[in-house]
Amino acid sequence: MEAREPGRPTPTYHLVPNTSQSQV
């Protein structure tokens, strides 16, 4: 887990492409 910065949805945008690529 990288440093969570205020206003930077790292875990959110990280899970989006991961799930999309996994299904593709």
Element (H, E) at 18: helix 10-23
Q: What is the mean pLDDT of residues 17-24?
A: 57
Task: Tell me how far CA of residue 24 lies from CA of 16, 18, 19, 20, 21, in angstroms.
Answer: 12, 10, 9, 6, 5
Sign of the four-CA dihedral 10, 13, 16, 17: negative
Q: What is the DSSP secondary structure assignment for residue 7, as one 8-state letter?
A: T
> Could you tell me the pLDDT band of residue 16, with boundaries at 50, 70 and 90?
low
pLDDT attached to residue 1? 55
Contact in structure between 14 and 21 (CB atoms under 8 Å): no
